């Protein structure tokens, strides 16, 4: 009986949290896919690795700092998705284009690395195809 009484309040809390998470973006009028992050800096469009063989990358745009500090550090495996990687419990890395920010040049990540179904697809080709392998 106690479990049934808790379901409704828990469901309401989950819905409230979801609405609260979406509200600041709508209120601020923030546009998805803009050229600048919230701090006014440039954005970088990259291929973010997933854990899916069916859709191994998603295209996202992040602030340049996020590309350097988050993606380049935490998803920096020097491997582009291939069909056997997940089965072998191997992680592939993000694909990040070369860019300049605040007078600093970043060479990119996995642009020349080969992978894909045949093992012959470059990271640059995947990036150019909007992260479709």
Instruction: Please name the residues in contact with 107: beta carbons below 8 A apart, sequence gap of 6 or more.
Output: 98
d(CA 133, CA 124): 11
Residue 56 has pLDDT above 80, yes or no: yes
Per-residue pLDDT, 27: 28
Task: Let me know if residue 119 belongs to a domain.
Answer: yes
Averaged pLDDT of the chain: 78
Please give the residue range of the domain that contains residue 97: 32-128
Give how many domains the chain has, as a whole number: 2
Query: Is there a single domain that holds both residue 46 and residue 5?
Result: no
Query: Is there a single domain that holds both residue 124 and residue 63?
Result: yes
13-22, 60-69, 98-107, 115-124: range with highest mean pLDDT = 115-124
Task: Let me know if residue 67 belongs to a domain.
Answer: yes
Query: Is there a single domain that holds both residue 112 and residue 64?
Result: yes
d(CA 75, CA 94): 6
Query: Is there a single domain that holds both residue 44 and residue 8?
Result: no
Task: Let me know if residue 133 belongs to a domain.
Answer: no
Query: Is there a single domain that holds both residue 108 and residue 49?
Result: yes
Give the tens place of pLDDT for each residue, 111-127. Answer: 999 999 999 999 999 99
In percent, the amount of the chain with pLDDT more than 70 equals 67
**96 close to 90: Cβ distance less than 8 angstroms:** no
Residue 13 has pLDDT above 70, yes or no: no
**47 close to 58: Cβ distance less than 8 angstroms:** yes
């Amino acid at each position: 009986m106690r479990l049934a009484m808790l379901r409704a309040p828990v469901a309401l809390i989950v819905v409230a949290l979801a609405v609260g998470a979406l509200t600041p973006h709508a209120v601020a009028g923030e546009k998805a896919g803009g050229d600048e992050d919230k701090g006014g800096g440039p954005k970088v469009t990259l291929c973010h690795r997933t854990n899916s063989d069916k859709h191994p990358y998603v295209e996202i745009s992040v602030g340049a700092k996020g590309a350097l500090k988050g993606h380049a550090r935490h998803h920096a495996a020097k491997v582009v998705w291939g069909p056997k990687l997940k089965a072998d419990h191997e992680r592939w890395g993000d694909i990040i284009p070369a860019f300049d920010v605040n007078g600093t040049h970043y060479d990119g990540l996995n642009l020349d690395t080969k992978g894909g179904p045949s093992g012959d697809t470059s990271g640059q080709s995947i990036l150019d195809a909007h992260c479709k392998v």
